[in-house]
Structure 1
Amino acid sequence: MRDPRGGPPPPRSRLAARRLPLFAGAALSLLAGLWSGLGLLGLGVPLPQGGLASQHGPLMALGFLGTLVSLERSVALGRPWGYSAPVLAALGAVAVLAGFVQPGRLLLTAAGGWLVAVYLVLLRRRPGYDTVIEMSGAVAWYVGGMLWTRTGLVTDLVPWLAAFLVLTIAGERLELARVAFLRRGAGTGMLAAAALVGAGAAVSVVHEDAGWRVTGLGMLALAGWLAAHDVARRTVRARGLPRYTAACLLAGYVWLAATGAMWLAWGLPEDGGGGYDAALHALFLGFVVSMVFGHAPVILPAVLRVRLPYHPVLYGPLVLLHAALVVRLLGDLTGGHGTRVLGGVLGEVSLLAFAACAVAASRLVRPAAPGARGRAARPPRSPEPSPTHPDPGMEPS
């Protein structure tokens, strides 16, 4: 992309072009994770290497989401060395896909350690409970990765992956709540709930069942805090993007509470089948992916400098995601294989549909005319404050 006046590409475009390969690595992990997920559903799809299906969870949580989280935090840091975290995560995912599983695990683990270093600098810049909680999520990534490289068992990794993603999201929501004039002392409640999630992951190392239960209790506490304090309770009554984002968040909090209840009641399901599958997908699809849908219109433009304007078409994948998850959990809990497969396939379709609808929205919503003046020339602003991105390329609109 060249400057329209014929000069060299502007700095922002060059910056986005450098980040694009990292985003492509995350997208490749997503596609590989979805394809291997079809194998786990028993659909008999061809896999590039025999063990790929067993890497479905790490590819989705660390290869896809880990690369995105570390890329967004590196943008916030604004220093070149910070980008080593998403580079390591993307390379680790590619190595796993190529069959070099142990080197891939080491690279993905190193990415988590590098992300901890990024958070240490961010914490020095802006101390607060929110950054501490997010950094705790990165620590969970790193510790879980160390266990994964030692045992190779994905089951050992699950509470740590849950802690990584739940604490990262919770910290970001606390950051927004703080900007929205959260009453003094309320952040202590989230810190206590986050500590339960981290403690559960730690306990799982010596007693898996108890660790899952403690983690579930922490998730329930976090869901209660978010239901009481998150600004989405107010913005869901707005219009356009604020309402859509709030709908994604509030639906996700319902699944977070449901996951917490299942983990607290069941612990680690012994059968390794329906109960285990339901417990995982309620969290990683119902909560985490719903958060991804809600934050994408804010995060992607900040990271890649691409337009992702709001359009009602975005509700389609959101509704499909949650409907598919209900169908899948019904199949898991009743033993209906066909129902489980249907829900699983529809869940994967919802993610691909979101990508398609995002592209469609960018074409359906036209930017303001270059000569427009006044307020009409400005894009609509969300009443919900956006996450802070201390990126030199970011300027207020």
Structure 2
Amino acid sequence: MAAGVYGGLLQLGFDLPEAPRFADSHGPLMICGMFGTLIALERAVALGRGWAYLGPAALGLGGLALLAGLPGILPAGLFVIGAFAFFATSVTIFSLQRAVFTLVLCIGALGLAIGNIMLAAGAPVGSFVGFWLIFLISTIAAERLELSRVLSPPPGALVAFVAIVAVFVVGAGWGVFEPPGRSLAGAGLLGMTAWLARYDVAMRTVRMRGQPRFMAAAMLAGYGWLVVAGLFLLLAGGAAFDYDLVLHAVFIGFVLSMVFGHVLIIFPGITGVVLAYSPWLYLPLALLHAAVAMRVVGDVLELAPLRLASGTVTVAALLGFTTTLALAARRSRSNAAA
């Protein structure tokens, strides 16, 4: 993550010590090396079978190979191996629990695999980034669908969810920045946000206190950036920073906000290390969304200084979040020992 963020700052135009492979590898480091490893590890822990750890291991090693500057075919090949092991893990989970949400998890894993194959084939990232969007958005949507069962949504809601996912997957797979793919993908994002606003359990837990409210706030704020990305895909094709705005509204505004919201339960489940909730977590969460707002406004108005400032605020949000978690966990351990 640190290397991917560093590469993103270089791409924004920050005057930092040169590390060309960081800038060139910003996307693969973040999607495959960081998000891919994290989600594949979570899936492997859930399945509980040794072979499933091949997925996160290969994806993580692919990220390290990129950082080491090894020939491109090696990290790309590791990313492909890791993605297919991750897909096999997801299919196995579906065979054990046949449900719509486990099927959508398979679709997300397949999106990562297809995107990584195209990366290994030397295709430019912009030509297949839609498959990486399918990976992350389908994964998160499926997990929220699973949690929505506590609200007992009507059968028609499940049919609507499947239709919305299908529209988005077709659009993103067709080409998220080319017609008619962008229109379908944009409509899918808006439809998904509307579905989540109606049936997601976060709409209720946000009224609670403490950790449940924080998690819900992170999720609901992330949904807002799906609306922004969806509207931009539908209404604003051809803008100067079209590509940058949509991807960072989704990857930072939506996906990273979901990470902020879920890390308090995911990290302990993977590592056994207990993380304590702290009200101070709202500060880095607010900084994260302020950074996305700055990025979006800077892209729309073509304001380079505002775009640069958004990078600084994003780094501050990530550092603030990890520092707050570390201090809260340390305080929690001290209290437990006392």
* TM-score of Structure 1 vs Structure 2, range by shorter chain: over 0.9
Q: Which deviations, in whole Å up to 9, do the C-alpha atoms of 1:266-316 show, x marking residues without a partner?
A: 34x464xx2221111111110000000000000000000001111101111
Structure 2 equivalent of residue 164 of structure 1: 135
From the superposition, tell whether residues 369 and 356 of structure 1 become closer, same or farther in structure 2 (CA, over 3 Å). closer
Q: What is the aligned counterpart of 1:348 among 315, 333, 336?
A: 315
TM-score by length of 1: 0.81
Give the RMSD, CA atoms, in angstroms: 1.8
- Unpaired segments of 5 or more residues in structure 1? 1-29, 372-397
1:98 Cα deviation after fit: 1.8
Identity %: 39
Structure 1 equivalent of residue 161 of structure 2: 190
- Unpaired segments of 5 or more residues in structure 2? none
From the superposition, tell whether residues 43 and 369 of structure 1 become closer, same or farther in structure 2 (CA, over 3 Å). closer
Contact 1:148 1:156 in 2 (8 A): no
Structure 2 equivalent of residue 73 of structure 1: 43
Aligned partner of 2:216: which letter? A
Distance 1:126 1:343 in 2: 42
Q: What is the aligned counterpart of 1:299 among 266, 279, 288?
A: 266
From the superposition, tell whether residues 85 and 334 of structure 1 become closer, same or farther in structure 2 (CA, over 3 Å). same
1:242 aligns with 2:212: yes
Aligned partner of residue 154 in structure 2, secondary structure: coil
More helix, by proportion: 2
Contact 1:159 1:212 in 2 (8 A): no
Distance 1:147 1:266 in 2: 27
Aligned partner of residue 151 in structure 1, secondary structure: coil
1:32 aligns with 2:8: no
Distance 1:51 1:308 in 2: 34
Q: Which deviations, in whole Å up to 9, do the C-alpha atoms of 1:136-162 show, x marking residues without a partner?
A: 000000111111222331101211111
Aligned partner of residue 238 in structure 1, secondary structure: coil
Query: Rg larger in 1 or in 2?
Result: 1
Aligned partner of residue 182 in structure 1, secondary structure: coil
1:229 Cα deviation after fit: 0.3
Q: Which has the higher contact order (CA 8 A, sep 6+)?
A: 1
1:367 Cα deviation after fit: 7.0
Distance 1:81 1:331 in 2: 45
From the superposition, tell whether residues 185 and 367 of structure 1 become closer, same or farther in structure 2 (CA, over 3 Å). farther
From the superposition, tell whether residues 244 and 101 of structure 1 become closer, same or farther in structure 2 (CA, over 3 Å). same
Structure 2 equivalent of residue 129 of structure 1: 100
Structure 1 equivalent of residue 188 of structure 2: 218
For residues 196-211 of structure 1, the aligned pairs below 5 Å read 196-204=167-175, 208-211=178-181
Contact 2:6 2:22 in 1 (8 A): no
Distance 2:183 2:63 in 1: 30
From the superposition, tell whether residues 110 and 270 of structure 1 become closer, same or farther in structure 2 (CA, over 3 Å). farther
1:369 Cα deviation after fit: 5.1
Contact 1:177 1:229 in 2 (8 A): yes
Aligned partner of 1:72: which letter? E
Q: Which deviations, in whole Å up to 9, do the C-alpha atoms of 1:5-25 show, x marking residues without a partner?
A: xxxxxxxxxxxxxxxxxxxxx
Structure 2 equivalent of residue 84 of structure 1: 54
Structure 1 equivalent of residue 116 of structure 2: 145
Distance 1:217 1:367 in 2: 49
Contact 2:151 2:199 in 1 (8 A): no
